[in-house]
Amino acid sequence: MTSTTHPTIKLVLEKPVYGGDCLARPATPDGKPGKATFVPLTLPGETVTAHIIEDKRSFANAELDQLLSASPNRVAPPCPHFGVCGGCQYQHADYPTQLALKQQILRESLSRAGVLFSSKINILSKEPWAYRNRIRLAFTESGEFGYRSRHSHSIVPIRECPIAARSLFLAAQQVRTYLAENPSPAPISELELFTNPGESQLLITLFCENTVATTTQTWLDDLFSALSLRPTGIRLQAADGSLNPPILAASGESSIGYAAAGFDYRVDHGAFFQVNRWLVEDFVSLAIANRSGGIAWDLYAGVGLFARQLAGSFAGVVAVESAPASFEALQQNLANTSANAVSSTTLDYLRHNRQEREPGPDLIVLDPPRAGLGEETTTLLNAIGSPAMVYVSCDPTTLARDLRALTLERYKIDSITLVDMFPQTFHLETVVSLSRS
Protein backbone atom coordinates (compact mmCIF):
# COMPACT_ATOMS: atom_id res chain seq x y z
CA MET A 1 0.00 0.00 0.00
CA THR A 2 1.57 3.29 -1.12
CA SER A 3 1.40 6.30 1.16
CA THR A 4 -0.08 9.52 -0.17
CA THR A 5 1.11 11.64 2.75
CA HIS A 6 4.75 10.56 3.12
CA PRO A 7 7.50 10.54 0.49
CA THR A 8 8.63 7.13 -0.74
CA ILE A 9 12.30 6.24 -0.32
CA LYS A 10 14.38 3.41 -1.69
CA LEU A 11 16.08 1.17 0.86
CA VAL A 12 18.40 -1.83 0.89
CA LEU A 13 17.82 -3.90 4.02
CA GLU A 14 21.01 -4.75 5.89
CA LYS A 15 20.25 -6.94 8.88
CA PRO A 16 17.50 -8.16 11.24
CA VAL A 17 16.81 -6.46 14.57
CA TYR A 18 14.98 -7.77 17.61
CA GLY A 19 11.28 -7.12 17.21
CA GLY A 20 10.88 -8.47 13.68
CA ASP A 21 12.03 -5.50 11.56
CA CYS A 22 15.06 -5.19 9.31
CA LEU A 23 17.42 -2.22 9.40
CA ALA A 24 18.39 0.01 6.48
CA ARG A 25 20.32 3.26 6.24
CA PRO A 26 19.13 5.44 3.34
CA ALA A 27 21.95 7.31 1.65
CA THR A 28 22.33 10.99 2.48
CA PRO A 29 22.90 13.62 -0.24
CA ASP A 30 26.66 13.32 0.28
CA GLY A 31 26.49 9.53 -0.21
CA LYS A 32 27.08 8.55 3.43
CA PRO A 33 24.88 6.09 5.34
CA GLY A 34 21.91 7.87 6.84
CA LYS A 35 19.65 7.40 9.84
CA ALA A 36 18.84 3.87 10.99
CA THR A 37 15.45 3.03 9.48
CA PHE A 38 13.43 0.01 10.55
CA VAL A 39 11.08 -1.76 8.13
CA PRO A 40 8.82 -4.71 9.04
CA LEU A 41 7.93 -7.61 6.71
CA THR A 42 11.32 -7.45 4.97
CA LEU A 43 14.46 -9.61 4.84
CA PRO A 44 18.18 -8.80 4.72
CA GLY A 45 19.45 -8.12 1.22
CA GLU A 46 16.10 -7.04 -0.17
CA THR A 47 15.60 -3.74 -1.99
CA VAL A 48 12.31 -2.00 -1.30
CA THR A 49 10.49 1.26 -1.43
CA ALA A 50 8.99 2.43 1.85
CA HIS A 51 7.58 5.53 3.52
CA ILE A 52 8.48 6.95 6.90
CA ILE A 53 5.71 6.73 9.51
CA GLU A 54 7.74 7.88 12.52
CA ASP A 55 10.82 10.11 12.31
CA LYS A 56 12.90 10.40 15.48
CA ARG A 57 16.23 12.13 16.07
CA SER A 58 18.32 8.93 15.91
CA PHE A 59 16.09 6.51 13.99
CA ALA A 60 12.98 6.20 11.85
CA ASN A 61 10.23 3.62 11.39
CA ALA A 62 8.93 2.92 7.92
CA GLU A 63 6.26 0.85 6.20
CA LEU A 64 6.90 -1.26 3.14
CA ASP A 65 5.41 0.04 -0.11
CA GLN A 66 6.91 -2.15 -2.81
CA LEU A 67 9.34 -5.05 -2.99
CA LEU A 68 11.84 -4.30 -5.75
CA SER A 69 14.25 -7.18 -5.21
CA ALA A 70 13.18 -10.16 -3.11
CA SER A 71 15.34 -12.43 -0.99
CA PRO A 72 15.59 -16.03 -2.25
CA ASN A 73 14.52 -17.02 1.27
CA ARG A 74 11.17 -15.22 1.01
CA VAL A 75 8.05 -17.43 0.95
CA ALA A 76 4.32 -16.82 0.67
CA PRO A 77 2.85 -16.51 4.20
CA PRO A 78 0.28 -19.31 4.75
CA CYS A 79 -1.89 -17.23 7.11
CA PRO A 80 -4.34 -14.81 5.44
CA HIS A 81 -4.03 -12.44 8.42
CA PHE A 82 -0.24 -12.10 8.30
CA GLY A 83 0.93 -8.52 8.04
CA VAL A 84 -2.24 -7.08 9.57
CA CYS A 85 -2.40 -9.22 12.71
CA GLY A 86 0.39 -8.46 15.17
CA GLY A 87 0.94 -12.04 16.29
CA CYS A 88 3.56 -13.15 13.75
CA GLN A 89 6.50 -11.29 12.17
CA TYR A 90 8.40 -13.93 10.15
CA GLN A 91 5.91 -15.93 8.10
CA HIS A 92 7.39 -14.38 4.94
CA ALA A 93 10.74 -16.17 5.61
CA ASP A 94 11.41 -19.88 5.17
CA TYR A 95 12.03 -21.64 8.45
CA PRO A 96 15.84 -22.13 8.16
CA THR A 97 16.09 -18.38 7.51
CA GLN A 98 13.99 -17.59 10.58
CA LEU A 99 16.41 -19.59 12.72
CA ALA A 100 19.43 -17.91 11.14
CA LEU A 101 17.93 -14.45 11.74
CA LYS A 102 17.28 -15.22 15.39
CA GLN A 103 20.75 -16.65 15.83
CA GLN A 104 22.24 -13.47 14.38
CA ILE A 105 20.09 -11.27 16.62
CA LEU A 106 21.07 -13.23 19.72
CA ARG A 107 24.78 -13.11 18.87
CA GLU A 108 24.66 -9.35 18.23
CA SER A 109 22.68 -8.71 21.44
CA LEU A 110 25.32 -10.50 23.50
CA SER A 111 28.26 -8.91 21.68
CA ARG A 112 26.80 -5.41 21.94
CA ALA A 113 26.51 -5.83 25.71
CA GLY A 114 30.13 -6.94 25.96
CA VAL A 115 29.36 -10.56 26.85
CA LEU A 116 32.39 -12.71 26.06
CA PHE A 117 31.78 -16.26 24.93
CA SER A 118 33.77 -18.67 22.81
CA SER A 119 31.10 -21.31 22.30
CA LYS A 120 28.90 -21.38 19.22
CA ILE A 121 25.20 -20.69 19.52
CA ASN A 122 23.39 -24.02 19.20
CA ILE A 123 19.79 -24.28 17.99
CA LEU A 124 16.94 -26.43 19.29
CA SER A 125 13.82 -26.42 17.11
CA LYS A 126 10.91 -28.61 16.06
CA GLU A 127 7.82 -28.38 13.85
CA PRO A 128 7.10 -24.64 13.32
CA TRP A 129 3.29 -24.84 12.99
CA ALA A 130 0.35 -25.67 15.31
CA TYR A 131 2.74 -25.51 18.24
CA ARG A 132 0.99 -23.11 20.62
CA ASN A 133 -0.79 -24.72 23.56
CA ARG A 134 -2.17 -21.35 24.72
CA ILE A 135 -3.78 -18.40 22.95
CA ARG A 136 -5.49 -15.24 24.19
CA LEU A 137 -8.08 -13.53 22.01
CA ALA A 138 -9.89 -10.23 22.36
CA PHE A 139 -13.48 -9.49 21.36
CA THR A 140 -14.66 -6.64 19.16
CA GLU A 141 -17.84 -4.70 19.95
CA SER A 142 -19.63 -6.75 17.28
CA GLY A 143 -18.69 -10.03 18.98
CA GLU A 144 -15.89 -11.16 16.68
CA PHE A 145 -12.65 -12.36 18.23
CA GLY A 146 -9.08 -11.76 17.12
CA TYR A 147 -5.57 -10.61 17.96
CA ARG A 148 -4.22 -7.11 18.32
CA SER A 149 -3.25 -5.31 15.12
CA ARG A 150 0.36 -4.92 14.04
CA HIS A 151 -0.23 -1.18 13.82
CA SER A 152 -2.27 -0.47 16.95
CA HIS A 153 -4.20 -1.95 19.88
CA SER A 154 -7.25 -2.43 17.69
CA ILE A 155 -8.51 -5.99 17.23
CA VAL A 156 -8.06 -7.85 13.95
CA PRO A 157 -10.83 -10.47 13.56
CA ILE A 158 -9.32 -13.80 12.50
CA ARG A 159 -10.65 -16.88 10.73
CA GLU A 160 -7.70 -19.13 11.49
CA CYS A 161 -4.40 -19.28 13.40
CA PRO A 162 -1.92 -21.79 11.94
CA ILE A 163 0.55 -21.49 14.83
CA ALA A 164 -2.05 -22.61 17.41
CA ALA A 165 -3.26 -26.09 18.31
CA ARG A 166 -6.40 -26.68 16.28
CA SER A 167 -8.61 -27.46 19.29
CA LEU A 168 -7.99 -23.98 20.70
CA PHE A 169 -9.39 -22.24 17.65
CA LEU A 170 -12.33 -24.62 17.34
CA ALA A 171 -13.24 -24.03 20.99
CA ALA A 172 -12.94 -20.27 20.51
CA GLN A 173 -15.37 -20.45 17.59
CA GLN A 174 -17.87 -22.36 19.72
CA VAL A 175 -17.60 -19.82 22.53
CA ARG A 176 -18.15 -16.98 20.07
CA THR A 177 -21.26 -18.68 18.64
CA TYR A 178 -22.66 -19.22 22.13
CA LEU A 179 -21.99 -15.61 23.12
CA ALA A 180 -23.78 -14.34 20.02
CA GLU A 181 -26.91 -16.29 20.98
CA ASN A 182 -26.61 -16.02 24.78
CA PRO A 183 -24.97 -12.74 25.84
CA SER A 184 -23.07 -12.91 29.10
CA PRO A 185 -24.51 -10.98 32.10
CA ALA A 186 -20.95 -9.67 32.54
CA PRO A 187 -19.81 -8.63 29.01
CA ILE A 188 -16.73 -10.57 27.88
CA SER A 189 -13.64 -8.66 26.73
CA GLU A 190 -11.07 -11.45 26.26
CA LEU A 191 -10.79 -15.21 26.02
CA GLU A 192 -7.81 -17.44 26.93
CA LEU A 193 -7.56 -21.12 26.02
CA PHE A 194 -4.94 -23.66 27.12
CA THR A 195 -4.61 -27.31 26.11
CA ASN A 196 -2.35 -30.24 26.89
CA PRO A 197 -0.05 -31.77 24.23
CA GLY A 198 -2.57 -34.29 22.93
CA GLU A 199 -5.43 -31.73 22.99
CA SER A 200 -7.45 -34.07 25.21
CA GLN A 201 -8.01 -31.46 27.92
CA LEU A 202 -8.82 -27.79 27.71
CA LEU A 203 -9.03 -24.85 30.08
CA ILE A 204 -11.00 -21.78 29.05
CA THR A 205 -10.83 -18.45 30.89
CA LEU A 206 -13.21 -15.63 30.01
CA PHE A 207 -12.33 -12.09 31.12
CA CYS A 208 -14.74 -9.25 31.76
CA GLU A 209 -14.23 -5.66 32.81
CA ASN A 210 -17.09 -5.24 35.24
CA THR A 211 -18.30 -7.12 38.31
CA VAL A 212 -20.39 -10.26 38.46
CA ALA A 213 -24.12 -10.29 37.88
CA THR A 214 -26.36 -12.63 39.89
CA THR A 215 -27.05 -14.87 36.87
CA THR A 216 -23.42 -15.28 35.82
CA GLN A 217 -22.87 -18.72 37.41
CA THR A 218 -25.95 -20.18 35.74
CA TRP A 219 -24.92 -18.67 32.42
CA LEU A 220 -21.40 -20.11 32.72
CA ASP A 221 -22.74 -23.56 33.65
CA ASP A 222 -24.95 -23.47 30.56
CA LEU A 223 -21.98 -22.48 28.39
CA PHE A 224 -19.91 -25.32 29.85
CA SER A 225 -22.65 -27.81 28.96
CA ALA A 226 -23.26 -26.36 25.50
CA LEU A 227 -19.73 -26.71 24.11
CA SER A 228 -19.36 -29.85 22.01
CA LEU A 229 -15.60 -29.57 22.27
CA ARG A 230 -15.94 -30.06 26.02
CA PRO A 231 -13.43 -28.18 28.17
CA THR A 232 -12.01 -29.60 31.40
CA GLY A 233 -12.72 -26.31 33.10
CA ILE A 234 -14.09 -22.89 32.29
CA ARG A 235 -14.24 -19.77 34.40
CA LEU A 236 -15.21 -16.12 34.26
CA GLN A 237 -12.69 -13.76 35.77
CA ALA A 238 -12.41 -10.03 36.30
CA ALA A 239 -9.69 -8.46 34.15
CA ASP A 240 -8.58 -5.91 36.71
CA GLY A 241 -4.85 -6.21 36.11
CA SER A 242 -4.02 -7.57 39.57
CA LEU A 243 -1.72 -10.51 40.22
CA ASN A 244 -4.62 -12.63 41.46
CA PRO A 245 -7.81 -11.18 39.92
CA PRO A 246 -11.14 -12.34 41.34
CA ILE A 247 -12.89 -15.37 39.84
CA LEU A 248 -16.51 -14.45 39.28
CA ALA A 249 -17.82 -17.89 38.33
CA ALA A 250 -16.34 -21.31 37.49
CA SER A 251 -17.47 -24.63 36.04
CA GLY A 252 -15.58 -27.89 35.74
CA GLU A 253 -12.04 -28.48 36.93
CA SER A 254 -9.52 -25.77 37.81
CA SER A 255 -6.55 -27.49 36.15
CA ILE A 256 -5.42 -29.92 33.47
CA GLY A 257 -2.77 -32.60 33.43
CA TYR A 258 0.13 -31.76 31.13
CA ALA A 259 2.29 -34.80 30.34
CA ALA A 260 5.93 -33.82 29.77
CA ALA A 261 9.33 -35.37 30.46
CA GLY A 262 7.83 -38.43 32.13
CA PHE A 263 5.51 -36.61 34.54
CA ASP A 264 1.91 -35.44 34.44
CA TYR A 265 2.11 -31.83 35.63
CA ARG A 266 -0.85 -30.09 37.14
CA VAL A 267 -1.33 -26.72 35.42
CA ASP A 268 -4.05 -24.36 36.68
CA HIS A 269 -5.95 -21.55 34.99
CA GLY A 270 -3.57 -18.64 34.45
CA ALA A 271 -0.42 -20.48 35.55
CA PHE A 272 2.71 -20.08 33.47
CA PHE A 273 3.77 -23.04 31.34
CA GLN A 274 5.98 -23.19 28.27
CA VAL A 275 3.90 -22.48 25.18
CA ASN A 276 5.42 -24.83 22.57
CA ARG A 277 3.89 -28.29 22.92
CA TRP A 278 6.40 -29.86 20.50
CA LEU A 279 9.49 -28.64 22.37
CA VAL A 280 8.79 -28.97 26.09
CA GLU A 281 10.47 -32.34 26.63
CA ASP A 282 13.64 -31.50 24.69
CA PHE A 283 13.70 -28.11 26.38
CA VAL A 284 13.66 -29.70 29.86
CA SER A 285 16.35 -32.19 28.87
CA LEU A 286 18.53 -29.37 27.60
CA ALA A 287 18.15 -27.27 30.76
CA ILE A 288 18.63 -30.14 33.21
CA ALA A 289 21.27 -31.96 31.09
CA ASN A 290 21.63 -35.01 33.38
CA ARG A 291 22.83 -32.83 36.25
CA SER A 292 22.97 -34.23 39.78
CA GLY A 293 24.26 -33.26 43.19
CA GLY A 294 23.29 -32.18 46.68
CA ILE A 295 21.14 -29.04 46.55
CA ALA A 296 19.49 -27.33 43.58
CA TRP A 297 17.50 -24.11 43.52
CA ASP A 298 14.81 -23.56 40.90
CA LEU A 299 14.08 -19.83 40.94
CA TYR A 300 10.96 -18.51 39.15
CA ALA A 301 9.77 -22.13 39.33
CA GLY A 302 6.26 -21.78 37.89
CA VAL A 303 4.41 -25.07 38.34
CA GLY A 304 7.72 -26.93 38.74
CA LEU A 305 8.67 -27.93 35.20
CA PHE A 306 12.36 -28.01 36.11
CA ALA A 307 12.08 -28.62 39.86
CA ARG A 308 10.17 -31.89 39.39
CA GLN A 309 12.93 -33.21 37.14
CA LEU A 310 15.73 -31.98 39.42
CA ALA A 311 14.10 -33.80 42.34
CA GLY A 312 15.03 -37.10 40.72
CA SER A 313 18.77 -36.37 40.69
CA PHE A 314 19.43 -33.95 43.57
CA ALA A 315 19.29 -34.72 47.29
CA GLY A 316 17.28 -31.56 47.90
CA VAL A 317 15.54 -29.01 45.69
CA VAL A 318 14.11 -25.59 46.59
CA ALA A 319 11.50 -24.28 44.14
CA VAL A 320 10.74 -20.57 44.55
CA GLU A 321 7.55 -19.09 43.07
CA SER A 322 5.52 -15.99 43.91
CA ALA A 323 2.50 -16.23 41.57
CA PRO A 324 -0.64 -17.52 43.33
CA ALA A 325 -1.87 -19.03 40.04
CA SER A 326 1.15 -21.36 40.00
CA PHE A 327 2.01 -22.05 43.63
CA GLU A 328 -0.69 -24.55 44.61
CA ALA A 329 0.05 -26.63 41.50
CA LEU A 330 3.77 -26.36 42.25
CA GLN A 331 3.22 -27.86 45.70
CA GLN A 332 1.22 -30.76 44.27
CA ASN A 333 3.70 -31.41 41.47
CA LEU A 334 6.52 -31.66 44.01
CA ALA A 335 4.64 -33.86 46.50
CA ASN A 336 6.56 -36.91 47.75
CA THR A 337 9.86 -35.73 46.26
CA SER A 338 13.06 -34.19 47.61
CA ALA A 339 11.80 -30.77 46.50
CA ASN A 340 10.31 -28.06 48.68
CA ALA A 341 8.08 -25.25 47.32
CA VAL A 342 8.71 -21.77 48.74
CA SER A 343 6.20 -18.95 48.24
CA SER A 344 8.42 -15.94 47.67
CA THR A 345 9.80 -13.67 45.03
CA THR A 346 13.23 -14.70 43.83
CA LEU A 347 14.73 -11.43 45.01
CA ASP A 348 13.37 -11.83 48.55
CA TYR A 349 14.56 -15.43 48.68
CA LEU A 350 18.07 -14.43 47.63
CA ARG A 351 18.13 -11.57 50.12
CA HIS A 352 17.33 -13.98 52.93
CA ASN A 353 19.92 -16.49 51.72
CA ARG A 354 22.76 -14.18 50.73
CA GLN A 355 25.14 -15.42 53.41
CA GLU A 356 27.42 -18.36 52.67
CA ARG A 357 25.82 -21.46 54.14
CA GLU A 358 26.55 -25.15 54.19
CA PRO A 359 25.48 -26.82 52.13
CA GLY A 360 24.99 -24.15 49.49
CA PRO A 361 23.32 -24.86 46.15
CA ASP A 362 25.27 -26.96 43.67
CA LEU A 363 23.03 -25.69 40.88
CA ILE A 364 20.74 -22.71 40.38
CA VAL A 365 18.18 -22.72 37.56
CA LEU A 366 16.78 -19.32 36.58
CA ASP A 367 13.74 -18.77 34.35
CA PRO A 368 12.76 -15.12 34.92
CA PRO A 369 10.06 -13.16 33.08
CA ARG A 370 10.91 -10.88 30.17
CA ALA A 371 12.36 -8.18 32.47
CA GLY A 372 15.20 -10.54 33.39
CA LEU A 373 17.08 -10.63 36.68
CA GLY A 374 18.23 -7.05 37.26
CA GLU A 375 21.20 -5.60 39.10
CA GLU A 376 20.44 -6.63 42.69
CA THR A 377 19.58 -10.22 41.74
CA THR A 378 22.76 -10.70 39.71
CA THR A 379 24.81 -9.18 42.56
CA LEU A 380 23.28 -11.64 45.04
CA LEU A 381 23.81 -14.59 42.68
CA ASN A 382 27.47 -13.66 42.30
CA ALA A 383 27.79 -13.47 46.09
CA ILE A 384 26.16 -16.88 46.63
CA GLY A 385 28.50 -18.36 44.03
CA SER A 386 26.81 -21.63 43.11
CA PRO A 387 29.24 -23.84 41.12
CA ALA A 388 26.77 -23.99 38.20
CA MET A 389 23.82 -22.02 36.89
CA VAL A 390 21.38 -22.42 34.03
CA TYR A 391 19.76 -19.21 32.79
CA VAL A 392 16.58 -19.64 30.72
CA SER A 393 15.66 -16.36 29.02
CA CYS A 394 12.82 -15.15 26.81
CA ASP A 395 14.42 -11.79 25.95
CA PRO A 396 17.92 -11.44 24.43
CA THR A 397 18.32 -7.83 25.57
CA THR A 398 17.80 -8.46 29.28
CA LEU A 399 19.70 -11.74 28.99
CA ALA A 400 22.72 -9.90 27.59
CA ARG A 401 22.56 -7.32 30.38
CA ASP A 402 22.40 -10.00 33.08
CA LEU A 403 25.09 -12.20 31.55
CA ARG A 404 27.41 -9.21 31.41
CA ALA A 405 26.98 -8.74 35.17
CA LEU A 406 27.43 -12.43 35.95
CA THR A 407 30.43 -13.05 33.71
CA LEU A 408 32.33 -9.90 34.68
CA GLU A 409 32.56 -11.03 38.28
CA ARG A 410 32.27 -14.76 38.83
CA TYR A 411 31.00 -16.93 35.97
CA LYS A 412 31.95 -18.15 32.52
CA ILE A 413 29.63 -19.33 29.77
CA ASP A 414 29.86 -23.03 28.93
CA SER A 415 27.14 -23.25 26.29
CA ILE A 416 24.42 -21.18 24.63
CA THR A 417 21.38 -22.69 22.91
CA LEU A 418 18.74 -20.75 21.04
CA VAL A 419 15.44 -22.57 21.62
CA ASP A 420 12.88 -21.62 18.98
CA MET A 421 9.89 -21.74 21.28
CA PHE A 422 7.98 -19.23 19.11
CA PRO A 423 8.34 -20.00 15.36
CA GLN A 424 6.98 -17.40 12.91
CA THR A 425 7.48 -14.67 15.54
CA PHE A 426 10.45 -12.53 16.61
CA HIS A 427 10.43 -14.04 20.11
CA LEU A 428 13.27 -16.35 21.04
CA GLU A 429 14.14 -18.44 24.08
CA THR A 430 17.73 -19.02 25.17
CA VAL A 431 19.28 -21.55 27.54
CA VAL A 432 22.71 -20.57 28.85
CA SER A 433 24.85 -22.90 30.95
CA LEU A 434 27.32 -21.16 33.27
CA SER A 435 29.97 -22.37 35.68
CA ARG A 436 31.97 -20.59 38.36
CA SER A 437 35.26 -19.36 36.97
CB-CB contact of 6 with 52 (8 Å) = yes
Collapsed DSSP state (helix, strand, coil) of residue 317: strand
Angstrom CA distances, 324 to 234, 349, 396, stand at: 18, 16, 27
| Residue 394 known to be catalytic | yes
CA dihedral over 394, 397, 398, 401, signed as positive or negative? positive
- The strand order across the sheet containing 202-208 reads 155-157, 145-148, 134-139, 188-195, 202-208, 233-238, 247-252
CA–CA gap between residue 166 and residue 356 (Å, rounded) = 50
CB-CB contact of 321 with 330 (8 Å) = yes
Nearest to 419 by CA among 410, 432, 406, 402: 432
What does the radius of gyration of the chain's CA atoms come to, in whole angstroms? 23
CA–CA gap between residue 138 and residue 148 (Å, rounded) = 8
Nearest to 54 by CA among 39, 66, 34: 39
Which position among 22, 79, 161, 394 bears the catalytic label?
Answer: 394
Q: Which residues are catalytic?
A: 394
